[in-house]
Chains A and B, each alone.
Chain A
Amino acid sequence: MTEPAFPRIAFSGLDGLVVSFSEKFDDTANRAALSLRAEIERGAWPGVVETASSLVSTLIRFDPADVRPEALRDQLAEMLAARDWQKADLPRDRRCLTIPACFDPEVAPQIDEAAEAAGFRDRDAAIASICDAELRVLTIGFAPGQPYIGQLPEIWDLSRQRNLNPRVPVGSLGLAIRQFVLFAVETQTGWRHVGQTAMRLFQPEAKDPFLLRPGDSLRFEPVSPARLQPLWDDPRGGAVIGAAE
């Protein structure tokens, strides 16, 4: 009875409306959130200041001095009712990136522990599973340009660690709950440090300061520590960027 209907629209603070497509993460809800955001951006709604999507929801930020929030909510409700957002396509301008990543314990200290926790027979099997996976940027957030990447095969459904990693470096791949975070800044985290890239996701002085966009398709290519090292000289960390599909 109390089960809320999805999609659900709710106010966030004074200037935000949030459309949620699911209580938990699921792939179709993520597609719906990405697609709804793209649609609103295309519509250039008056009074809307900015939009952003998170894992399964879309935020619409408006200027409450300029727009009646209830009217905006009704407009959104109408748009949501007009089609089945769970069947939405991915954004049209998304790209496909192949990213060199090193899974050697020398730079990825928790790969063996994660492989064992997930039940793989050895490290190579775990690396193969990661590098065969068709992944995409589910959302960007927390820090500038920092992607949440998913979704890994079910076997990788590991909880976050109770004890935090005191410091993971820029470009490291953290793993938990069938997802990766590719860290944009050096940080403390509960995600297991299982891989290392040479990606610098945010470069404020660059013409295009963000390397990734929500919806981008990703694939990791395993490299040795020796091959990873020189990639730090490349602002893209050696990633090859092409059009998706």
Chain B
Amino acid sequence: MSVVEVVSAQGTVTVQDSGRPGWLAQGISRGGAADPIAMAEGAALLGQDADLAAIELMSGSLKLRCERACRIALTGAPMRARLEGAGGGRGLAWHGSHLVPAGAVIGITPGPAGGFGYLHFGGGIESEEWLGARSAHLAAGIGGPLQEGEKLRLGEDRGSTVDLVIDPLPRLEGGEIRAVESLQTRLYPPEQVARLQQVEFRRDSHGNRMGVRLDLDGAEGFAAPGGLNILSEIVQPGDIQVTGDGTPFVLMAECQTTGGYPRIATVLPCDLPIVAQAPPGTGLRIRLIERDAALRIMQAHAAELGDLRGRIGPRRRDPAQMADLLSFNLISGVVDAARPDHFPDHVHHPEEIS
């Protein structure tokens, strides 16, 4: 059994897995990783199950000492990662897998764009389970952020492959988020639902695991007539809740389970990572689609996740010779964004709208 020890942790650095569905009736939202795509990418890089727990960093920094040699993968929003000790320091490529020698220290600090970064271990993290999951749920008081001196047990690693890189599914630069009607969309005048899809929202800097505020960027707010007097209803991640001042919030993994503010639409689960990972200030546009089209998109997304191995290849350059690993990765991301046709499966074809 292998153990990693937290040398230092700052900010919201937590253990996350796919969350604990099934407790809505008791007031607990599903929780789990804010970017499930990153969880799937990490699992694909390490050749293991996507349900295994990993470490999520939300604008935090972390140093971990690995007792024994272990495999890791880094996914999600690019951050600065370095390996210290055991033969000198070197950078670690993001969106990649690595072998960490025994006794080495992994150091991760936030990248320039913000967002959620993930550190995965071969065999996954086997921390304590509460109600069937290892995910910390900060809003519910389940678990908490990692603390200095904390020791995390790793599961048995059955794989051995390292030094791979993944071409991440595009989601790290904002853009269009697709949504379907919510229970309360029809409370809003059609003009407002139309306008919701015309505003270029900005990702507000105030966002966390519970929700992300969409900055109206000067546009008029939204309001349903009588919307402040409706009964509380169950809410779910992805719901776009409009508060009293007309500002939409996209509810995330750790949202409350009931709410009295009306919801104007619900973001598709596969597009929620776009909201989670959009750097503050980035543009986000909402587009409502029909349920049938949404279900087809979700099927295509499931196929994409099942096919992540096709986006993985060997790391072309020796990391020890790379002067600036972070800029290498950022450039690759920018190139991808400028050439969306590079990802034919993700382009939103007009026939998706029925």
Contacts and interface: CB of A to CB of B under 8 A. Distances in A.
Nearest to B238: A13
A59 B130 contact: no
A43 to B, nearest CB: 16
B25 A214 contact: yes
Interface string B281-310: 000000000010011001100100000000
Contacts of A139: 258
A49 B183 contact: no
Interface stretch (B48-56, B88-96, B214-222, B229-237): B229-237
Interface in A5-50: 10-16, 18, 23-25, 37, 49-50
B25 A204 contact: no
Contacts of A54: 231-234, 258
B69 interface: no
Interface residues of A, number: 43
A52 B28 CA distance: 11
B234 A18 contact: yes
Interface in B115-141: 130-131, 139-141
B50 to A, nearest CB: 16
Contacts of A143: 27, 139-140, 256-257
Contacts of B79: none
Contacts of B258: 54, 139, 141-142
A14 B291 contact: yes
A59 B28 contact: no
B27 A204 contact: no
A202 interface: yes
A64 B208 CA distance: 28
B211 to A, nearest CB: 14
A146 interface: yes
Contacts of B131: 204, 209
Contact of A49 (B21, B233, B268): B21
Given A49-B22, A50-B25, A209-B131, A12 B236 contact: yes
A144 interface: yes
Interface string B146-181: 000000000000000000000000000000000011
Nearest to B128: A205
Contact of A14 (B23, B130, B295): B295
A55 B231 contact: yes
Interface in B17-33: 21-28
Contacts of B302: 65
A11 B269 CA distance: 15
Contacts of A16: 183, 234, 236
Contact of B298 (A64, A144, A145): A64
Interface in A149-206: 184-185, 202, 204-205
Given A59-B234, A69-B291, A204-B131, A14 B180 contact: yes
Contacts of A37: 25
Contacts of A217: none
B266 A12 contact: yes
Given A14-B268, A141-B232, 8 more contacts: A12-B233, A37-B25, A52-B257, A140-B25, A141-B27, A142-B27, A185-B141, A204-B131
Interface of B: 21-28, 130-131, 139-143, 180-183, 231-234, 236, 238-239, 256-259, 266, 268-269, 291, 294-295, 298-299, 302
27 contacts: A11-B291, A12-B182, A12-B236, A12-B266, A14-B291, A16-B234, A16-B236, A23-B231, A52-B257, A54-B233, A54-B258, A55-B232, A56-B231, A57-B234, A59-B24, A59-B234, A64-B298, A65-B298, A140-B25, A140-B27, A143-B139, A143-B256, A144-B23, A144-B26, A145-B26, A204-B130, A210-B26
Interface of A: 10-16, 18, 23-25, 37, 49-57, 59, 61, 64-65, 69, 139-146, 148, 184-185, 202, 204-205, 209-210, 214
